[in-house]
Amino acid sequence: MENCYRKILKAIGEDEAREGLIKTPARAAKAMKDLTSGYDMDLHTVINGALFEAETDGMVIVKDIECYSLCEHHLLPFTGKVHVAYVPDKHILGLSKVARVVDMYARRLQTQERLTQQICDALEEVLCPKGIGVIIETHHFCMMMRGVEKQHSSAITSAVKGLIKKDSKTRDEFLHLVS
């Protein structure tokens, strides 16, 4: 990967031997490996048995989870926050595991739409809840720094299943609590 970054530096007209750039290919390769570390993660390893017997049927919400990902179209970041809610059936999940699942999928080349669905599907698989909802709000650098250059634009995506999708009162509660 370092050699590829050297070639990129050369292709844009830079001198890869310049003092400030000598270690850049190694740093960039290390950064890219970190930014795409989700490919090395597995859902069940991330969850690591942190399922507990549900003692409630009330909605569980983890909101404002920081999200950093790379747009698969331009390899530029998109950043924002993720809100996850579920109505437990038999199990609840350790709260930090929700954020870890978000990171696992966000640390891959992504579209926001797919990321939203992947988080929803993964948590549904692990929890088998009565209902689940995921909302992601982000700012895409590919829209802010290039192309249309709309610095104040944002994107919002959602995925809902089960009770949160079918029952309007539950969906309204979800939307109210994450707004």
Name the residue ranges covered by the structural domains of the chain: 2-35, 40-178
User: What pLDDT is stored for residue 2 in this prediction?
Assistant: 97
Task: Tell me the CA distances in angstroms from 62 to 23, 71, 94, 128, 141, one per residue in order.
Answer: 39, 24, 11, 17, 25
* Helix ranges, 18-167 (H): 24-35, 43-47, 95-106, 112-127, 141-144, 163-166
Give the model's confidence band at 91: pLDDT under 50 very low, under 70 low, under 90 confident, else very high: very high
Give the model's confidence band at 65: pLDDT under 50 very low, under 70 low, under 90 confident, else very high: very high
Give the model's confidence band at 55: pLDDT under 50 very low, under 70 low, under 90 confident, else very high: very high
User: What pLDDT is stored for residue 27 in this prediction?
Assistant: 98
Give the span between the Cα atoms of 119 and 35, in whole angstroms.
17
The alpha carbon of 162 is separated from its chain's Cα centroid by a whole number of angstroms, namely 22
> Hey, which residues are catalytic here?
71-74, 112, 140, 142
- Locate tokens 């999940």: which residue? 93
User: What pLDDT is stored for residue 141 in this prediction?
Assistant: 94
- 55: which DSSP letter? -
Q: Which CATH number fits domain 40-178: 3.30.1130.10, 1.20.1250.20, 3.20.20.100, 2.40.340.10?
A: 3.30.1130.10
Angle between helices 95-106 and 112-127 (to 10 degrees): 140
Q: Rounded mean pLDDT of 38-50?
A: 97
